[in-house]
Structure 1
Amino acid sequence: MEKGLISTFFDIIQSLATAVVVLVYIIYSYFEAFWRLLRPKPAKSLAGEIILVTGSGNGIGREICLQLANSGAKIVCWDIHKGNNDALVKSLRKLGAFAYGYMVDVSDRSTVECFADKVRKEVGEVTIIINNAGVAPCQEFLKCNPQLVEHVFKVNVLSHFWILQEFLPNMIECSKGHVVTMCSFAGLKATRNMVPYNGSKAAIHGYLESLKSEIRHHPKKPDIKFTTVYPSAVNTRLFKGLCCRFRFPYFTPVLEPEYVARHLLNGLKREIEYVYCPPHIPLYLFLENLIPNKARGAVTDFLMPLFEPISTTSNKSQLDSHCTSSSL
């Protein structure tokens, strides 16, 4: 009995000591975050890195590769569309970049495994992964084709698993690497008619938080960085054929791929964990949490954009002036 009391007492003391350490660390982190607002972390050089970019043939992926052209890194371009990807690689080489193009269906695990081996043999071990490939169907949930739903999750989520399982072990072994992931504002705040897409982006956010925790507790304590990007609507081919209606365009603006790519690469070079485009997204999420649950739906309907397939709109000519090709 006495031993049990002593053991309980020491457990309480240990818990209190741990709580104090955590509190001190939180305070330190606040000061560090404030300091970084005043003096951002210097941008690291990417020279000599081997950077894998998925979905490189179009949109944001293409812009990422073009903005990496003068970085001194080897750029590995994966895309399912061979023509677009080959044209990109040709452009990159004209700019003096070390570029390698592969036609890869990232949704297929065996294909990812095959081309991962090919990259290791022909280029070297990938040191930076930019998971950017994605699809975004727009349809009412009950009308979604089951095969389409599976395809969305294979491309948007499972492809990340297959790619990371191929390249992460070497990063852990070398204690060096950086995983950059294109998520979405839609992974934090949902919109209707986009259930599979929103679900896939929420899954990305969730698996990354879990993976980071595993890496943090790994016995080797590898120095692997993570950057996750949360853009709002982006003017890409991903959402062609959609009507995107905004009540407040300045609140959730349609961003250009160049803008998102620039902020993503800034996050990569400065090792920023979360990159939001536009930057006021965290403020919106914070303020939303102050609103009673019952009222959140009304606030969402008031502020957030509405995505609809153009073919379902009742008066297409009237809506055209409000429609934008975009990716959320």
Structure 2
Amino acid sequence: MKDFRGKVAAITGAASGIGRALAVELAREGARLALADLDEAGLAETVRLVAAPGAGCTTTRVDVADRAAVFAWAGRCRAGHGQVNLVFNNAGVALAAAAETVRPEDFEWLMAINFWGVVHGTQAFLPHLRASGDGHVVNLSSVFGLIAMPTQSAYNASKFAVRGYTEALRMELLLEGAPVGVTCVHPGGVATGIVRSQRVDEAVTRMTGQDADAFRAQGERMIQVTSPEAAARRILSGVRRNASRVLVGPDARVVDIMARLLGPGYQRLVMRRAERLRQEAGGS
């Protein structure tokens, strides 16, 4: 897909962050938008920034964990816009917890959004993307879908799952010769609100020496690497190239190289950094 003008793009998690930036960039390039999120006020602000009211941009309150709701939204997108060319399965949440003691209800909450939301969005929109004759699926994984991190076992599980699901989907559609491209996106640190709003289990304090607020604050400092706007431009460049994988940010490229060169040996580097951060927290 070389040109987004006249294309219809469905975006989840469009009320803020990368989702909002994708909406603004796509509107600038002449695309029509179907935006979804649970945050209706945030969606309204995205529409204001997009400056494409009426038929050019529709919004729907959707919980991506609700399969029936996602399929209903996809049907309304096709009926209202006449076609759907792109789906960006972007909605996501974060959870910091110990692998041994993470609460099942927290794990299930995260997986329902981060993984099952991607599956629901992909399956709901694929028939419409096929019908368009020029479609593309974009699924958001993470650098944490390339390497694992202490306190991030649930998040890692969801993002590794998105990566595996998306890569298999791409190969299946290529074998079929379907008119639908597939891209898996691995953002590094992007300055969004995901860390600020993450759930932090009490076990994290024992592992890191930080309370929940300090842990979130440290995480927010660490993600100030790439702006959402730069991330959106990088992702759309990947769609134009039909890239199988898009790495967002210099940190993502470093992580990818590290994982490729070191294999499981990357864990030693991660542990050294984790130990250093814990020592710094203890001394603060």
Q: Which TM-score tier does this pair reach, normalised by the shorter chain?
A: 0.7 to 0.9
Number of aligned positions between the proteins:
264
Alignment equivalent of 1:244, drawn from 218, 225, 231: 218
1:148-159 to 2 correspondences below 5 Å: 148-159=106-117
Alignment equivalent of 2:50, drawn from 92, 105, 111: 92
1:99-110 to 2 correspondences below 5 Å: 99-110=57-68
**Contact persistence 1:138–1:194 (CA under 8 A):** yes
Does residue 172 (structure 1) correspond to residue 134 (structure 2)? The answer is no
- SS of residue in 2 equivalent to 1:69: helix
Alignment equivalent of 1:301, drawn from 261, 266, 271: 271
**Contact persistence 1:138–1:307 (CA under 8 A):** no
Alignment equivalent of 2:161, drawn from 200, 203, 211: 203
Match for residue 226 of structure 1?
Answer: 182
**Residues 1:291 and 1:132: Cα distance change in structure 2 (over 3 Å):** closer
**Contact persistence 1:192–1:306 (CA under 8 A):** no
- SS of residue in 2 equivalent to 1:239: coil
- SS of residue in 2 equivalent to 1:301: helix
Match for residue 245 of structure 2?
Answer: 274
Match for residue 118 of structure 1?
Answer: 76
**Contact persistence 1:183–1:228 (CA under 8 A):** yes
**Residues 1:107 and 1:245: Cα distance change in structure 2 (over 3 Å):** closer
Task: Compute the displacement of 1:245 (Å).
Answer: 6.4
What is the rounded CA distance, in whole Å, between the counterparts of 1:73 and 1:258 in structure 2? 16
Task: Compute the displacement of 1:178 (Å).
Answer: 0.6
**Residues 1:307 and 1:89: Cα distance change in structure 2 (over 3 Å):** farther
**Contact persistence 1:69–1:97 (CA under 8 A):** no
Q: What per-residue deviation string (whole Å, max 9, x for no partner) do you get for residues 47-88 of structure 1?
A: 111100100001111111112222111111100111111221
> What amino acid is the match of 2:239?
L
CA-atom RMSD in angstroms: 3.0
**Contact persistence 1:184–1:231 (CA under 8 A):** yes
Does residue 191 (structure 1) correspond to residue 149 (structure 2)? The answer is yes
Match for residue 59 of structure 1?
Answer: 17
What is the rounded CA distance, in whole Å, between the counterparts of 2:89 and 2:253 in structure 1? 22
What is the rounded CA distance, in whole Å, between the counterparts of 1:282 and 1:86 in structure 2? 34
What is the rounded CA distance, in whole Å, between the counterparts of 1:237 and 1:177 in structure 2? 29
**Structure 1 stretches of 5 or more lacking a match?**
1-42, 319-328
**Contact persistence 1:72–1:98 (CA under 8 A):** no
**Residues 1:292 and 1:78: Cα distance change in structure 2 (over 3 Å):** closer
Match for residue 20 of structure 1?
Answer: none
What is the rounded CA distance, in whole Å, between the counterparts of 1:256 and 1:54 in structure 2? 18
**Contact persistence 1:70–1:95 (CA under 8 A):** no
Match for residue 230 of structure 2?
Answer: 259
**Structure 2 stretches of 5 or more lacking a match?**
197-212
Alignment equivalent of 1:80, drawn from 24, 35, 38: 38
**Contact persistence 1:125–1:167 (CA under 8 A):** no
What is the rounded CA distance, in whole Å, between the counterparts of 2:78 and 2:24 in structure 1? 22
1:126-145 to 2 correspondences below 5 Å: 126-145=84-103
> What amino acid is the match of 2:59?
G
What is the rounded CA distance, in whole Å, between the counterparts of 1:78 and 1:169 in structure 2? 19
**Residues 1:305 and 1:175: Cα distance change in structure 2 (over 3 Å):** farther
**Contact persistence 2:235–2:248 (CA under 8 A):** no
What is the rounded CA distance, in whole Å, between the counterparts of 1:253 and 1:64 in structure 2? 18
